[in-house]
Amino acid sequence: MSFSFAKIFWILFNPGNLIVLGLAVGILAAFIPGHRTRRFGRGVLAFMLGAILALTVLPLGSWLIGPLEERFAAPAALPEQVDGVIVLGGAFSLNRSAARRSAQLNEYADRMVAFAALARRYPAARLMFSGGSGDLLDQTNRESDFASGLMADLGIAPARISFERDSRNTYENALYAQRLAKPRPGEIWLLVTSAFHMPRAMGVFRKAGWTVVPYPVDYQTQGPGQAGLGFDFAGGLRLITLGLHEWIGLAAYRAFGWSNSFYPAPSVQ
């Protein structure tokens, strides 16, 4: 139920969808007879235009994502030996992969690149890919089904990897992967996911009682103090959509009891 609710909520409140809906309401109201209705329509259009200009010029998305990406720093030095490496799904475009019958990566492909690199660095480590499908209606194709072939192409034997293919979100990533991996106390596992997503992932893994070492990748910003003015509506909309989705996800996971904190910290007090 929570999975379905989250998907439907985001469809309705996705910033891009809200902008389209707001413009449609404003235009419609502006042409309906009646002074108050037209005035309302013009007000909505003015507000939406202001929002579009703000997204185009101001680094709103970077301001939202920046704190998330800086929350968990990459390890200053990797351990000499690790027991396992787990990477979370999200790097595959399932529709394109299914249509092309081969792995098609999206803008989060760094997750898979880092996973392959760590697999080579630690040849004795256990490897796990956790990723099913986040599609609300169609669960036919799963990321794990395409990850196997991609790893083979990258020179990593699929037999080394445990593929968890049933998870639909980050909460289920931790839950199902832990059941499959059965990590022992004291084992060192590296967790690979996008930097902006690491706080939510760490909160879920900690709640599950699985101690992991964060290995953030796939940065979307240039770092603290680097965001400036620009003129890129598509880029601004993408980043603010990403940032809002993640902050809402943090709040929802805490409300559902899936995370140990709203905004997990690097060290547990």
Average pLDDT over residues 255-267: 94
DSSP string, 78-134: --S--SEEEEES--B-HHHHHHHTS--B-TTTHHHHHHHHHHHH-TTSEEEEE----
For the stretch 39-68, pLDDT in tens is 999 999 999 999 999 999 999 999 999 999
> With left for phi above 0 and alpha for psi between -120 and 50, is residue 46 left, alpha or beta?
alpha
Length of the chain counted residue by residue: 269
Average pLDDT over residues 60-83: 95
Average pLDDT over residues 111-138: 95
Inform me whether the pLDDT recorded for 250 exceeds 70. yes
Inform me whether the pLDDT recorded for 149 exceeds 90. yes
- CATH classification of 77-219, choosing from 3.40.640.10, 3.40.50.620, 3.40.50.300, 3.40.980.10? 3.40.50.620
Flag the least confident range among 138-142, 152-156, 162-166: 138-142
Inform me whether the pLDDT recorded for 269 exceeds 80. no
Inform me whether the pLDDT recorded for 1 exceeds 60. no
> What separation in angstroms does the CA of 202 have from each of 24, 71, 77, 113, 214?
40, 11, 19, 20, 7
Q: Are the C-beta atoms of residues 228 and 59 closer than 8 Å to each other?
A: yes
Amino acid 12: pLDDT: 87
For the stretch 169-187, pLDDT in tens is 999 999 999 999 999 999 9
**Residues 144, 131: Cα–Cα separation, whole Å:** 6
Sorting pLDDT into bands at 50, 70 and 90, what band is 8?
Answer: confident
Domain boundaries in the chain? 77-219
